[in-house]
Structure 1
Amino acid sequence: MPADFMNTELAWLTWTGLHMSPWKIIGLTGALMFGSRWLVQFLASRKARQPVIPRLFWYMSLLGSAMTLAYFVFSHKQDAVGIVQNLFPAFTAGYSLWLDIRHRGWNRDRNESDDHAAAELPAQALRRRA
């Protein structure tokens, strides 16, 4: 195994014309995860019929930023623009995730459904009166 395996082109992908290294796969996976978090947010908001940021959004932000940041720090790329571009979103996502866990606890989904059920009780009572 070469000393710099993570930056070595993967031979089994050369037939595709893709020049991929393990670091490039990590970086691309991180970028894909970071971008697809918006789909998660869209689907959660559509389901709730109001703007919602699910906890999965913050996990995907943090993991996607960390993976892309690792690519720019540890690969041959070592691009300062890529590092700065991913460092601040990683910090923001980590902080937002910490706030969410601190505010709602680890069982956020259960708490949200309890809150939703509690909000429905007065609405049901009003409908019965009418």
Structure 2
Amino acid sequence: MSDVLAGLGAWFHAVFVEQFDVWIAIGFLAQAMFSARFLIQWIASERAGRSVVPVAFWFFSIAGGAILFAYALYRQDPVFIAGQGAGLLIYARNLWLIFRERRAALAETG
């Protein structure tokens, strides 16, 4: 059992300590921003008493996704690059649709 724990400790040290650099810090920051969008969505839904997706969700999606995309490019991870790249297009499209709808609503009332 102590060999397993020692091996696990060595693995954690190698993964989280030895290879730590500014890009790992950027990756963690990006992941935190990307994850924060779910907290924002949850809080907005609780306040409304129904499921809602606030505009801030899409801004956090773009911010976190863009930084994660840069991180993936730096790491040269094709799976991560493809996933984040496609996500960025979807997030931008959602914001464009939201702003187009708001612009049309303003034109009708103005």
TM-score when scaled to structure 2?
Answer: 0.72
Give the Cα separation in 1 of the matches to 2:18 and 2:64: 22
Larger RCO, structure (CA 8 Å, separation 6 or more) = 2
Q: What stretches of structure 2 of length at least 5 have no aligned partner?
A: 1-15
* Equivalent residue, structure 2, for 1:78: 76
Unaligned runs of 5+ in 1: 1-15, 106-110, 112-130
Residue by residue, what CA displacement relative to the aligned partner does 1:59-88 show, whole Å, maximum 9, x if unpaired?
A: 000111100000111x2x211011012111
Give the superposition deviation at 1:18. Answer: 5.9
User: d(CA) in 2 for partners of 1:54 and 1:18?
Assistant: 39
> In the superposition, relative to structure 1, how do residues 18 and 60 fare at CA in structure 2: closer, same or farther (>3 Å)?
farther
Q: Calculate percent identity across the aligned residue pairs.
A: 33
The alignment status of 1:58 with 2:58, answered yes or no, reads yes
Number of residues of Structure 1 aligned to a counterpart in Structure 2:
89
Counterpart residue number, 1:25: 25
1:1-130 equivalences under 5 Å are: 17=17, 19-73=19-73, 75=74, 77-105=75-103
> What's the CA shift string for 1:79-125, capped at 9, x where partnerless?
101101211111101110111111124xxxxx9xxxxxxxxxxxxxx
1:30-67 Cα shifts (integer Å, max 9, x gaps):
11211221110010011011111111000000111100
Alignment CA distance shift 1:103-1:86 (3 Å): same
Cα separation, partners in 2 of 1:50 and 1:80, compared to 1, 3 Å:
same
CA RMSD of aligned residues (A): 1.9
Compare CA radii of gyration and give the structure with the larger one: 1
Length-normalised TM-score, structure 1: 0.62
Residues 1-28 of structure 1 deviation map (CA, whole Å, 9 limit, x = unaligned): xxxxxxxxxxxxxxx9363222222222
